[in-house]
């Protein structure tokens, strides 16, 4: 524990935490192959006992739900479930169905409960889409990544562009809501080529797209190859031009950038991801999953941050032994809460509400940000106040959040 919970002033009456609904993340840590750019907690394992892993997820869900509702907190409302990975489309649909049913029984599900599953667009997985829909999934997020063979080869993907488009069409006919991911700013990708690829993607008519600039993550195969000069990525102005082109093309199809890398038709935003960015409570079940849970302390509200064992085998063993595989849980300090809420919130086009930052951290807004620096960043055009009193990072600012946040936050 980094501190006891009673340092924060009471921001809301005890028990009021139940007023905000929860988001539930469920991690499936296995993939058919490891992509060379990916540093997610994903593992290639022969002969995964999927039914056993599914049972352990149910056990951990049960355990965490009981804790979230202990101490007189009452039943919590549930706004979203997100099956992420790894590759959750490798899960048996029966395991997905059982987890959804259990979550619905444990929490008070909102009428519009959003249930997303990440899927890889191989033909095998496309064949399971109807079963996932029948299990209760109402939003599919497909990892398309690129629409040409050479780029898919470079990214080490085990599906073709044709398979991806077929999976998208099948998904569109099966799920009420559909999103897909593309990775751009790839080596040698010109702005014209990206605009053309993106237009093709947009014409496939999803209501939501996640468009990520390729990053080289430490410890990945790409990190080794990049270090020895095997390829270079667009940087600086080149990357900024690609980013601006992305927003322009998406806007032509009515998709607006509501977060740094996420574009949606109004109303089609991912409610689950918005919960992270708005610094709402979320439970995270499965290997390596994180969670943030507001609890009432003797002197006010605190946020417990927990993470779980990352290795699937250890996670499984711990859950079967103890009912959960949390490695660490700490009460975040008010400063940590303020920083996290700012880090997440400034990624959003809607920006942050200083009153909410104060409420979630238990601190004055001025104790979270350096006012002089805030004014300087506004002068530079990286931040601006919106008419409704929210603080927003401009498009230039959102591109440079990694540089801005360390100087802005106290
Ligand atoms: C957990 S992964 C994916 C889901 C699924 N397993 C798949 O690959 O389709 C989430 C997304 O992050 C993106 N991503 C992962 N690593 C990245 C990197 N180094 N640079 C840019 N995007 C990345 C990819 O678009 C990927 O679809
Ligand atoms: S990008 Fe997706 S499929 Fe590839 S290794 Fe990462 S999680 Fe697995």
Give the C-alpha separation, 155 to 158, whole Å.
9
CA 342 from centre of chain: 16
- Report the DSSP pairing between strands 208-213 and 262-264: antiparallel
- Measure Cα distances from 317 to 53, 102, 278, 320, 328 in Å: 10, 22, 34, 5, 16
Predicted pLDDT of residue 302: 87
Q: CATH number for the domain including 370?
A: 1.10.10
Residues 233 and 144 occupy one common structural domain: yes
Atom 20, ligand 1: which residue's CA is nearest? 214
155 Cβ below 6 A of ligand 1:
no
| Cβ(160)–Cβ(189) below 8 Å | no
33 Cβ below 6 A of ligand 1:
no
Ligand nearest to the CA of 86: 2
Give the C-alpha separation, 370 to 205, whole Å.
43
Q: Within 13 A of 354's CA, how many CA atoms are on the CB side? A: 15
Q: In the listed set 250, 275, 300, which residue is the last one of a domain according to the structure?
A: 275
The whole-number average pLDDT for the span 96-120 is 97
**SS3 label, residue 131:** helix
Instruction: Flag whether pLDDT at 406 surpasses 90.
Output: yes
Atom 6, ligand 2: which residue's CA is nearest? 38
Residues 96 and 169 occupy one common structural domain: yes
The whole-number average pLDDT for the span 306-320 is 97
228 assigned to some structural domain: yes
Predicted pLDDT of residue 208: 97
334 Cβ below 6 A of ligand 1:
no
Mutation test residue for ligand 1: of 91, 181, 221, 270, the one with most atoms within 8 Å of CB = 181
Q: Where are the alpha helices (DSSP H) in 116-159?
A: 123-126, 129-135, 149-154
> What pLDDT band is residue 298 in, cutting at 50, 70 and 90?
low
Residues 70 and 182 occupy one common structural domain: yes
The whole-number average pLDDT for the span 98-124 is 94
* 298 phi, psi to nearest 5 deg: -60, -35
Residues 358 and 247 occupy one common structural domain: no
Question: pLDDT of 179-190, one tens digit each?
Answer: 999 999 999 999
Partners of 257 in beta bridges = 263
Instruction: Flag whether pLDDT at 304 surpasses 90.
Output: yes
Q: What is the chain's mean pLDDT, rounded?
A: 92
Domain count, the chain: 2
313 assigned to some structural domain: no
Predicted pLDDT of residue 299: 65
| Cβ(248)–Cβ(186) below 8 Å | no
316 assigned to some structural domain: no
Residues 339 and 262 occupy one common structural domain: no
Residues 93 and 212 occupy one common structural domain: yes
327 assigned to some structural domain: no
| 177: containing domain | 22-275
- Burial readout 68-104 (b: 16 or more C-beta within 10 A, e: otherwise): bbeeebeebebbbbbbbbbbbbbbebebbbbbbebbe
397 assigned to some structural domain: yes
For residue 326, the 8-state DSSP code is: E
């Amino acid at each position: 524990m980094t501190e006891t919970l009673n340092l924060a002033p009471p921001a809301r009456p005890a028990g009021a935490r139940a007023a905000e609904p929860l988001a539930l993340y469920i991690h499936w840590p296995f993939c058919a192959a490891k992509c060379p750019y990916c540093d997610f907690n994903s593992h290639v394992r022969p002969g995964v006992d999927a039914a056993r892993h599914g049972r352990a997820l149910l056990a951990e869900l049960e355990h965490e739900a009981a804790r979230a509702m202990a101490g007189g907190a009452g039943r919590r409302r549930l706004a979203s479930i997100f099956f992420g990975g790894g590759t959750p489309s490798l899960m048996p649909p029966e395991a997905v169905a059982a987890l959804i049913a259990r979550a619905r029984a444990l929490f008070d599900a909102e009428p519009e409960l959003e249930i997303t599953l990440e899927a890889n667009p191989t033909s095998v997985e496309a064949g399971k889409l109807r079963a996932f829909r029948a299990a209760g999934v109402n939003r599919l997020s497909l990892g398309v990544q690129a629409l040409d063979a050479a780029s898919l080869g470079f990214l080490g993907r085990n599906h073709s562009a044709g398979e991806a488009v077929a999976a998208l069409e099948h998904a569109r006919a099966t799920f009420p809501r559909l999103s897909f991911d593309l990775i751009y700013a790839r080596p040698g990708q010109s702005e014209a080529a990206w605009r053309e690829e993106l237009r093709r993607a947009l014409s496939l008519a999803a209501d939501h797209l996640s468009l990520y600039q390729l990053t080289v993550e430490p410890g990945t195969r790409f990190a080794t190859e990049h270090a020895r000069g095997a390829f270079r990525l667009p940087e600086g102005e080149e990357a900024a031009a690609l980013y601006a082109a992305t927003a322009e093309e998406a806007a032509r199809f009515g998709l607006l950038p509501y977060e740094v890398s996420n574009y949606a038709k109004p109303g089609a935003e991912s409610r689950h991801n918005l919960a992270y960015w708005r610094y709402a409570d979320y439970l995270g079940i499965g290997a390596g999953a994180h969670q943030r849970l507001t609890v009432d302390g003797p002197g006010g509200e605190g946020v417990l941050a927990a993470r779980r064992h990352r290795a699937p085998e250890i996670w499984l063993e711990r859950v079967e032994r103890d009912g959960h595989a949390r490695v660490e849980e700490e009460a975040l300090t008010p400063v940590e809460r303020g920083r996290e809420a700012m880090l997440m919130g400034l990624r959003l086009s809607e920006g942050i509400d200083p009153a909410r930052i104060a409420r979630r951290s238990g601190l004055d807004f001025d104790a979270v940000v350096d006012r002089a620096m805030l004014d300087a960043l506004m002068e530079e055009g990286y931040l601006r106040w919106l008419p409704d009193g929210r603080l927003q990072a401009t498009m230039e600012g959102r591109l440079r959040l990694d540089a801005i946040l360390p100087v802005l936050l106290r």
